[in-house]
Structure 1
């Protein structure tokens, strides 16, 4: 018999994977209502119409869901003005991203992305056997597109562009992205990750679907988790050229998008007017928070997402600890900064109170 380990051994890459750290739940503090703004969740409960559809669909959970996500893909194609064959669905946008990596990458390939950006990027890259190539953000916490272009080599298979960027909230301008794509080799896939698209108000933000029509090496990645408030059901999708979309469907976990998720996503598309009102309310709350922080003296990157970014450096952990003592859970990122989700106005008020005291103590 061939020699080998005494027991089954997982792949060595797992030992070196960075850990994905989900937002912590709120810490209870006597006399205070606890708020969790450490995950970029929609604070509003599901719409009643969506809940009603989910309850009705629950009666059929003894059956497998439609593996092809047919009704959802048709509805998305009609809404977005693309072909049904261009849509691939998965378990949240991060699930679809995993499908992209499986379809595109082999051991030794490289994946270029900005850093700091979505923390799943190096994980899904390494799991595909590829090598992560992080490129530092600019001093303004934005994608450094010239540096990312310079990081592309003959081994690069995929480039990830997160706009608005998680966790800094900054966006990549349409004109800059087009110039970047003009210079990217046509065989390199560029993924425009738009998990926070619905919160964008800046007129210079990219029109990704138009870009995808002009550049056949572009995939657009979106989700129902944020603006649609379906984070707990895990459904996302990609808009891609048909051959690539077919490959993404082939690499998807069979029946991965469950029956309730498909029903809720369809119902949410039908209730888009109600959801748009909620998004506008969150954007207005974001603008209120940003304006108040600016008055306090904070100079933060302008956010186009549903969160704000405090680039606190070595003070990151201390700020997060102060928030926790006040029953407010935020998301610290090493020694880079703290991300705070825009949630209930009461949570925003708590954040503003803490931020004001922090500034005053260091004045």
Structure 2
């Protein structure tokens, strides 16, 4: 059965062992793209969608009226005024091509395409979602049969929404834990988690019901970037007929994000989907905007399945502003500051003599995200090197920091490889110093 809405020339060609029509659930494959009159006619007297032709009624104090019949408060901040001047009484564009075009430019998709004809079709490689969480749900819903018939594979410790999405959609979950320091970690660096390729391949060999593998890169809570070599090894593994999903929510916090991103592999591999978000590096968690990159067949299936107007006009408006050259330049400055403060925070946690004496272990995982993962050790009289991570103590410290010092971090000690660990987001220089001071205070009491 063909994928409805897919342009004939955009069929996948690599790898040879992958057939997307065998991956997609039959009922999803039968879906046609949602169409409305606005797909064909975007201008004129628009009386097709039962919208409120009189516009929105948001107002406060003195009003002026723009040409679209939308009342605007002249006393409002300019940011709000510009938002209210949108056609908020109209349904948003289902595709948001302007946003996709700027995303494609930022992520280097244009450079991956080899001809002018293909350049015009770059938007066919992108779908937008209400945060990455909607994309996770869409991927599982479209590809994995519910009722325990099929499964996803995850590599804990990892982002929790993969398992939540599986539970909601009633699909099985196979867990292959990451290994701390295995093969010196990803990239051959000590102290990092590594993806156990042999065990993942063994799992899919044993269980052909696995349809999707989720890799978080950089990982949450590990902070470890998964190497492109690891991703390619799974993409090329012939016995696995499903899809590899690489979640790159934190990709902009690494050195050379474009060179390290799996988006660079999209043109070659039809069995790859890469997710990114506006929540982290862009600092726009409140607008809930996620992005998926893949070859057009999978993007078309996701587009056929998602709600037609899932991303609002105001969200798209803010995203376009965030993708403007001045905003991107400002973001790069903030990223450089975060990387600097991350380095200083890690050095302080690893080398502060009082913290060492109070049984704070060396930071583990990678240094590729906007957080650090630090183990709290047993508070006993043994040598510091002999003390083991203490999850009970870490929980007490987590609660005490929040309830008596007003410092909220995240306890992650229940996950594999993270025993006794607290995850601390990299803050401003002042915030990081407060964390260090308050942590020292609390450690003396626990």
TM-score range, shorter chain: 0.7 to 0.9
Q: Distance in 1 between matches of 2:363 and 2:274?
A: 28
**Cα shift at 1:356:** 3.9
1:81-123 CA distance string (max 9 Å, x none) = 2511010000011111111111111122110011111011101
> Residue 246 of structure 1: SS of its match in structure 2?
helix
1:32-71 CA distance string (max 9 Å, x none) = xxxxxxxxxxxxxxxxxxx955641233323221122222
**Cα shift at 1:186:** 5.3
Counterparts of 1:21-32 in structure 2 under 5 Å?
none
Q: Which residue of 2 aligns with 1:268?
A: 322
> Residue 232 of structure 1: SS of its match in structure 2?
helix
Instruction: Say yes or no: does 1:234 pair with 2:288.
Output: yes
Query: Does the aligned pair in 2 maintain the 1:113–1:134 contact within 8 Å?
Result: yes
Counterparts of 1:145-224 in structure 2 under 5 Å?
145-152=197-204, 153-183=207-237, 185=239, 187-201=241-255, 206-224=260-278
Q: Distance in 2 between matches of 1:201 and 1:131?
A: 36
Query: Does the aligned pair in 2 maintain the 1:173–1:204 contact within 8 Å?
Result: no
Q: Under a length normalisation based on structure 2, what TM-score does the superposition of the two structures give? A: 0.65
Uncovered stretches (5+) of structure 1, i.e. residues with no partner: 1-50
- Which structure has the higher relative contact order (CA within 8 Å, separation 6+)? 1
Q: Distance in 2 between matches of 1:145 and 1:358?
A: 40
Query: Does the aligned pair in 1 maintain the 2:258–2:264 contact within 8 Å?
Result: no
Q: Distance in 1 between matches of 2:126 and 2:332?
A: 23
Uncovered stretches (5+) of structure 2, i.e. residues with no partner: 1-76, 111-121, 182-192, 377-390
Query: Does the aligned pair in 2 maintain the 1:306–1:341 contact within 8 Å?
Result: yes
C-alpha spacing 1:114/1:314, structure 2 compared with 1 (3 Å) = farther
> Residue 104 of structure 2: SS of its match in structure 1?
helix
Please identify, of 210-219 and 195-204, the stretch whose mean Cα deviation from structure 2 is larger: 195-204
* Structure number with larger C-alpha Rg: 2
Q: Which residue of 2 aligns with 1:78?
A: 105
Q: Distance in 2 between matches of 1:316 and 1:291?
A: 20
Corresponding residue pairs, total: 312
**Cα shift at 1:168:** 1.7
User: 95, 101, 115: which one pairs with 2:140?
Assistant: 101
Query: Does the aligned pair in 2 maintain the 1:225–1:234 contact within 8 Å?
Result: yes
Query: Does the aligned pair in 1 maintain the 2:251–2:257 contact within 8 Å?
Result: no
Q: Which residue of 2 aligns with 1:299?
A: 362
Query: Does the aligned pair in 1 maintain the 2:281–2:335 contact within 8 Å?
Result: yes
User: 56, 64, 75: which one pairs with 2:82?
Assistant: 56
User: 108, 122, 146: which one pairs with 2:163?
Assistant: 122
Q: Distance in 2 between matches of 1:254 and 1:338?
A: 40
Q: Under a length normalisation based on structure 1, what TM-score does the superposition of the two structures give? A: 0.79
C-alpha spacing 1:250/1:258, structure 2 compared with 1 (3 Å) = same
> Residue 115 of structure 1: SS of its match in structure 2?
coil
Query: Does the aligned pair in 2 maintain the 1:67–1:254 contact within 8 Å?
Result: yes
Q: Which residue of 2 aligns with 1:343?
A: 427
> Residue 363 of structure 2: SS of its match in structure 1?
coil
Q: Distance in 1 between matches of 2:299 and 2:258?
A: 28
> Residue 164 of structure 1: SS of its match in structure 2?
coil
Q: Which residue of 2 aligns with 1:69?
A: 96
**Cα shift at 1:281:** 0.8
**Cα shift at 1:133:** 1.4
User: 195, 209, 213: which one pairs with 1:143?
Assistant: 195
Q: Which residue of 2 aligns with 1:48?
A: none
**Cα shift at 1:148:** 2.4
> Residue 158 of structure 2: SS of its match in structure 1?
coil
Q: Distance in 2 between matches of 1:345 and 1:293?
A: 14
**Aligned-pair Cα RMSD in Å:** 2.4
